[in-house]
Every structure is written in C-alpha cells, then in structure tokens.
C-alpha cells in the first residue's frame, strides 16, 4: 500500500531512483515496492491525462490507484506529480 510519506520520498528525489540510491536510500526498508507502484501509476495516469488512453484503460488505472494507495491524500499527491508532468509536456 502506497502512503503519502512514500510519495513524498519519491517526489523529493524527482522520481529518480538512481539519485535516491546515491543519497544512501535512508528509507529503503519503508518503501518496499512502492516506488515501482508510484512510477507505474504516474506513467499510466499521464497517458489518461493526455487523452492517449481508452476508457477501459482509464478505469483500470483508477481501480489500481484506489487499490494501491492508502488514502485520498496519497492519491492527491500522485495526481499532483502527474499534473506537473502534463504542464511540462505542454510547455515543451
């Protein structure tokens, strides 16, 4: 289950697993496979946000978002990361 604290660790390192590991991975035990889940949700939510996904795909992403996250705050933080990705894509 992904928590808001785990999303904070992910965003603090800009989603860069190499940077996280180079800095000593102080929270490695508390992350488990959450980094991969956050990355997967981020990628798929981005596709949905950019209108590059079917309704079925979007529904599966929403189902995973609910299943893999602990609360609404966590979902809000993941969506905020995706909103930043969308803005960056539209600017470039």
Which residue segment(s) compose the domain that 28 sits in? 4-91
pTM of the shown model: 0.91
Instruction: Report the Cα–Cα distance between both ends of the chain, in Å, rounded.
Output: 34
Tokens representing residue 86 in the block: 């969308």
Residues 6+ apart with CB under 8 A from 66: 75
Handedness of CA 25, 4, 58, 86 (dihedral sign): negative
Residue of 1, 76, 70, 5 lying closest to 32 (CA atoms): 1
Residue length of the chain: 92
Q: For the chain, what is the domain count?
A: 1
The one-digit pLDDT tens for each residue of the chain (92 residues) are 999 999 999 999 999 988 888 887 665 656 878 999 999 999 999 999 999 999 999 999 999 999 999 999 999 999 999 999 999 999 98
């Amino acid at each position: 289950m992904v928590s808001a604290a785990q999303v904070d660790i992910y965003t603090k390192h800009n989603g860069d697993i190499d940077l996280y590991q180079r800095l000593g991975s102080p929270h490695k035990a508390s992350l488990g496979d959450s980094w991969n889940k956050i990355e997967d949700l981020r990628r798929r939510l981005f596709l949905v946000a950019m209108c590059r996904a079917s309704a079925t795909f979007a529904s599966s992403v929403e189902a995973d978002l609910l299943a893999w996250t602990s609360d609404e705050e966590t979902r809000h933080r993941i969506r905020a990361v995706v909103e930043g990705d969308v803005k960056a894509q539209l600017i470039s």
